[in-house]
């Protein structure tokens, strides 16, 4: 019965299902790093995710450069990124005013952010960032304009090298 499966058994099943799907060797997006949601009240959103999906906060960070306070909730090997704006004139603040709470962007994990940016520029994608910026957890990130992929804002994420220590 699914409900009585141990966490490890569930993980194996998910892994097998993903690995059975062929992926081109030169794919830039390796995995979903996170799906980001704009929320007006971070504590209330964290409480809802805990109550309804039983997710817990894996990481919290205030990212002044992006104008957000974030909470990351682990889902498998990816995250739900809850984003609360630091002010109304920040990207997430403007989004909340115009569109209300909801999906703000999708983050794709890439092996090399420089290579991914160069390849996407060459393929004609409209970039917001030509160079990587600092993201949370020591990641390096860059944004691709919503117009490039049919609507959603896209973020490219390069994980910190294993063994490196970031705040
Ligand atoms: N997804 C899809 N469309 C979006 C959007 C989003 N997240 N944010 C804004 N838009 C749309 C708006 O709805 C608007 O569309 P219309 O012209 O059809 O009304 C258009 O883009 C312009 O909106 P705006 O409010 O005037 O916003 P700006 O053009 O000033 O900026 C954007 C939009 C995407 C370029 C800007 O938000 C940006 O540079 N974002 C990247 C940085 C960021 O989002 N940081 C926060 C997250 C940090 C993190 O994940 O760590
Ligand atoms: Co993000």
CA–centroid distance, 109 to ligand 1, in Å, is: 20
Banded pLDDT at 24 (limits 50, 70, 90): confident
CA–centroid distance, 101 to ligand 1, in Å, is: 13
Higher pLDDT, 17 or 94: 94
Least confident piece of the model among 7-11, 89-93, 125-129, 155-159: 7-11
CA–centroid distance, 2 to ligand 2, in Å, is: 32
**Atom number, ligand 1, closest to the C-alpha of residue 104:** 7
Query: Does 4 score more than 90 pLDDT?
Result: no
User: Ligand 1: does its nearest atom lie under 6 Å from the Cβ of 157?
Assistant: no
**Atom number, ligand 1, closest to the C-alpha of residue 153:** 1
Summarised one tens digit per residue, pLDDT across range 47-90 is 999 999 999 999 999 999 999 999 999 999 999 999 999 999 99
CA–centroid distance, 123 to ligand 2, in Å, is: 23
**Atom number, ligand 1, closest to the C-alpha of residue 34:** 50
pTM: 0.89
Least confident piece of the model among 12-16, 58-62, 94-98, 112-116: 12-16
User: Ligand 1: does its nearest atom lie under 6 Å from the Cβ of 154?
Assistant: no
**CA dihedral of 51, 52, 56, 62, whole degrees rounded to 10:** -90
Tokens (6 digits) for 20: 């059975």
pLDDT at res. 20: 72
Q: What is the mean pLDDT of the chain?
A: 90
CB 144 within 8 A of CB 160: no
For the chain, the farthest-separated pair of C-alpha atoms sits apart, in whole angstroms, at 49
Higher pLDDT, 164 or 48: 48
Higher pLDDT, 85 or 163: 85
Name the percent of the chain lying above pLDDT 70: 86
Please report the domains of the chain, with CATH numbers, ordered by start residue. Answer: 27-158 (3.10.180.10)
Give all strands (DSSP E) within the chain, no chain letters: 31-38, 57-63, 68-75, 78-85, 102-109, 133-134, 140-144, 153-158
In the block, tokens 């090997």 appear at 77
Ligand 2 is a single-atom ion; what residues have CB below 5 A from it?
36, 81, 107, 155
Quick one: average pLDDT of 125-144? 97
User: Ligand 1: does its nearest atom lie under 6 Å from the Cβ of 93?
Assistant: no
In angstroms, what CA-CA distances link 73 with 46, 49, 56, 58?
9, 9, 6, 5
pLDDT at res. 54: 98
Q: What sign for the dihedral angle of Cα 9, 36, 69, 109?
A: positive
């Amino acid at each position: 019965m699914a409900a009585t499966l141990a966490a490890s058994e569930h993980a194996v099943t998910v892994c097998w299902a993903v690995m059975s799907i062929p992926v081109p060797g030169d794919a830039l997006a390796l995995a979903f790093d996170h799906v980001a949601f704009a929320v007006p009240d971070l504590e209330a959103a964290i409480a809802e995710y805990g109550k309804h999906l039983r997710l817990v906060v894996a990481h919290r960070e205030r990212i002044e450069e992006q104008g957000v306070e974030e909470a990351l909730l682990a889902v498998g090997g990816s995250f739900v990124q809850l984003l609360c704006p630091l002010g109304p004139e920040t990207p997430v603040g403007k989004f909340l005013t115009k569109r209300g709470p909801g999906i703000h962007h999708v983050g794709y994990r890439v092996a090399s952010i420089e290579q991914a940016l160069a390849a996407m520029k060459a393929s004609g994608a409209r970039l917001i960032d030509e160079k990587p910026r600092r993201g949370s957890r020591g990641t390096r990130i860059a944004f691709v304009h919503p117009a490039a992929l049919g609507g959603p804002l896209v973020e490219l994420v390069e994980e910190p090298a294993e063994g490196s220590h970031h705040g």
